[in-house]
Structure 1
């Protein structure tokens, strides 16, 4: 066994021991050099695993690469799952869109407790660090790629592991050639219009010729990830001080407590809040705009897109919510409901019967304007618009609260109240995040 083989096997074995997975191991297998080496190493250490190949359809050779992966995996007795994906180029550029589609495919394959292994190495780490530096990333971004991180819902225990970050691409190629491995070459790797390729071809070589680049970047990234962890801890403490709580749609914190923090801690809290929600980090300009809007005049109700979420202000709370589709898409939608089973509404909302909700033929729709209602405890009817304000339903949900009718009679408004003609208590209205 050569020194390179010993190093790579040691890196893999140590990483698997540090980060054991209760579920199944999956290798992200593109057919390129890096993933081919990791495939071979996993077979050598006799770890049970499956492989996932994602066909992006971006190259004329995409099907050829998939066939190659199926053939290699078949010869080694490795179960392989192939997934075709659609790359939406408008979603942050080609590289980002392809990455999003790829991780979406991985997510579909992985079960709770499963772990995804990726073959990124030290050169990839250096390129990622430099790319993020040139894009003005903060501490968390400059931490580059962690060896291990959780993915998706933390309660499901899925994770991602990069066991070869301590190796260079040259070492992987040396191992592959010594082992007689065959791999595919992606034509797009020579396209200097892609930022990562430009960094790889034009920036890294002269830097690496003068300094031990991989070692220095690895050390810096580790220090920055440690600093990012401390900032995340501080953000968690500040969130608790600001009374973070789960709402029917998203989460909220006390606005006065938030505004009492320093500007730097406000930014750090927002970054930590987004991180907890699994959202990407926003650009600095968007973060500054969010802070400005949070201090808007008292009667303003801003909505600022932030890291794939929306920061909103209402009364004395600051809300972080998922995005909403334009209301016009649902104007004429109606649902028939039996009052027994859960009813799926638009955008991930659910209407379900409360314990004493009676079975009947109901019709459910959204507001169309001009409705009036008389809550059971009131003596007079009022406009629904006024009632929703009195019940403190956030403005962004007022056009989406389900109105439940029995025949022509309004019997319930979401989970807010029932009318004099309705059951004893309202149904359950919740958002599945």
Structure 2
């Protein structure tokens, strides 16, 4: 170890070591570091450097994607190298789904990483300057905006996951030199040169051609990513202001949105649709949201589906709804239920959780307590004589005036006895109907919690 450390000090005296130590100090004192190690030259060098930088509180992990016959042997190679460096090692096999193998393998890999990370742990990856330049180039060819062209950050916060890439500003030539001087052994994955994959094609076919014309291309593209990261930070501050002015993660106010210049509208919609996901929607999907939903006719019930959510407009608001919630109206049908109520007991209906409570004013007669009452979903065409209003009027109109969202209206249920309407359970609360069963000092169901808190105004 002394000779290795001596060689290391000879080649690593300047800015890189200083930067790493500075960044290490910025992480929580109790943090542990999980090194993603594929067995390739980059990650094996990272493993050696981290064992010298931070000999305590580090572990390595090899993800076996099971896509190559030799993948299990590569795992044993990584585990053996870790044992020689006294670094604990995890070898985990994952199942990669069909489709785009590059994307699916990445998703499986990160899912496995997160299984072994505690809240204060840092995931350390071996991406370097050429990886950054390739990422920017591929995203540029896919039509990415600022967020995509910002590519990879040296310290990247993805929700609870913190990623550190200490070698991101290192040229691959420097990595090769250090790996040779430290005698770092590694494996060669043949897929890294298989031009069937986009990144390998970029590296093997496109990169040499462009670099022959632009020798400083790698540094230039890496610099462009840094500039995009600055622009992304400025944009994030503007987006935060616009989001605060226009709504919440669940709903945007269309009047406030329309007051923004069109580019800021598009950026806000793109970030809002992304939500907590990693990727923003394609530009075409944002344009569809604007034209097909926001600018649809006022009486249209237009909705757009993307990435597990539906985007629907209602009452000058644009709503973001989980797919299951939006489609529940088509699938959630309840048969007639027979309920008996007792004071101070809870009852759960489609509209939410209600508590049966006595009231000082007009309510339902205490004679109904303990009797079997019918609870049915509305079929359409019902009329209701709401207490305190003159005459009966269509229940549909009452629902519209209460601005109950269309995707919640299947949760509205009618309470009755002997075909006499007693009232209606809604996500806004219980509506008392005028009937012979109304009585002073009676009782009413009081809403405690709705199955969906994003409801319209009360009737």
Superposition pairs of residues 73-88 of structure 1, within 5 angstroms = 73-88=82-97
**How far 1:355 moved relative to its partner?**
12
Q: 1:429 aligns with which of 422, 434, 451?
A: 451
The reply on whether 1:32 has 2:40 as its aligned counterpart is yes
How many pairs were matched up? 406
For residue 132 of structure 1, report the CA deviation from its aligned partner: 0.8
1:137-161 CA deviation, whole Å, 9 max, x = no partner? 1112111111112122xxx5x4111
1:50 aligns with 2:59: yes
1:162 matched to 2:165? The reply is yes
1:15 pairs with 2:23: yes
- 1:206-245 pair list within 5 angstroms: 206-209=209-212, 210-242=214-246, 244-245=247-248
In 2 relative to 1, CA 235–75 (structure 1 residues): closer, same or farther, beyond 3 Å?
Answer: same
Q: 1:106 and 2:151 equivalent?
A: no
Q: In 1, are the aligned partners of 2:378 and 2:414 still within 8 Å (CA)?
A: no
Report what 2:362 is aligned to.
Answer: none
Most deviating of 412-421 and 162-171: 412-421
Partner of 1:362: none
Query: Greater Rg, structure 1 or structure 2?
Result: 2
Residue 424 of structure 1 aligns to a residue whose secondary structure is strand
For residues 252-279 of structure 1, give each alpha carbon's deviation from its aligned partner in whole angstroms, at most 9, with x where no partner exists. Answer: 1210121222221111112333455334
> 1:353 and 1:328, CA in 2 relative to 1: closer, same or farther beyond 3 A?
closer
Q: Distance in 2 between matches of 1:366 and 1:29?
A: 59
Q: Kindly report the root-mean-square deviation, in angstroms, between the aligned alpha carbons of the 2 structures.
A: 4.2
Match of 2:204 among 201, 206, 218: 201
Counterpart for residue 282 of structure 2? 283
Which stretch of the first structure deviates more once superposed, 5-14 or 195-204? 5-14
Q: Distance in 1 between matches of 2:84 and 2:301?
A: 61
Aligned pair partner of 1:41 in 13, 24, 49: 49
State the alpha-carbon separation in 1 of the partners of residues 355 and 85 from structure 2: 54
Q: Select which of 428, 442, 447 maps to 1:416.
A: 428
Q: Deviations over 1:105-148 (max 9, x none)?
A: 22232232322111100010010011011111111211111111
Q: Structure 1: state its 5+ residue gaps.
A: 357-364
In 1, are the aligned partners of 2:353 and 2:448 still within 8 Å (CA)? Answer: no
Q: Give TM-score, length-normalised by structure 2.
A: 0.74
Structure 1 residue 306, shift from structure 2 partner:
4.5
CA distance in 1, matches of 2:51, 2:137: 33
Show the counterpart of 2:303: 303
Query: Is it true that 1:393 corresponds to 2:401 in the alignment?
Result: no
Q: Which residue of 2 aligns with 1:268?
A: 267
DSSP-derived class of the 1:318 partner: strand
Structure 1 residue 178 and structure 2 residue 200: aligned?
no
Q: CA separation of 1:374/1:417 partners in 2, compared to 1, >3 Å: closer, same or farther?
A: farther
Specify the SS of the correspondent of 1:296: coil
Change (3 A) 1:20 1:378: same
Once residues 6 and 354 of structure 1 are traced to their aligned partners in structure 2, the CA distance between those partners, rounded to angstroms, is 71
Q: Is this contact kept in 2: 1:279–1:308, CA < 8 A?
A: no
CA distance in 1, matches of 2:298, 2:52: 65
* Unmatched tracts of structure 2, length 5 or more: 1-6, 336-343, 358-374, 416-420, 433-442, 454-459
Q: Do the aligned partners of 1:35 and 1:118 also contact (CA within 8 Å) in 2? A: yes
Deviation at 1:87, TM superposition (A): 2.2
Matched residue, 2:152? 145
- C-alpha displacement of 1:61: 2.3
Aligned equivalents of 2:42 and 2:423: distance in 1?
A: 62
User: How far has the Cα of 1:387 moved from its partner?
Assistant: 6.4
Alpha-carbon distance in structure 1 between the residues aligned to 2:402 and 2:354 = 21
Distance 2:63 2:20 in 1: 23
String of CA shifts for 1:389-413, please: whole Å, max 9, x gaps: 45433223445x49799xxx99995
User: Aligned match of 1:192 in 170, 176, 195?
Assistant: 195
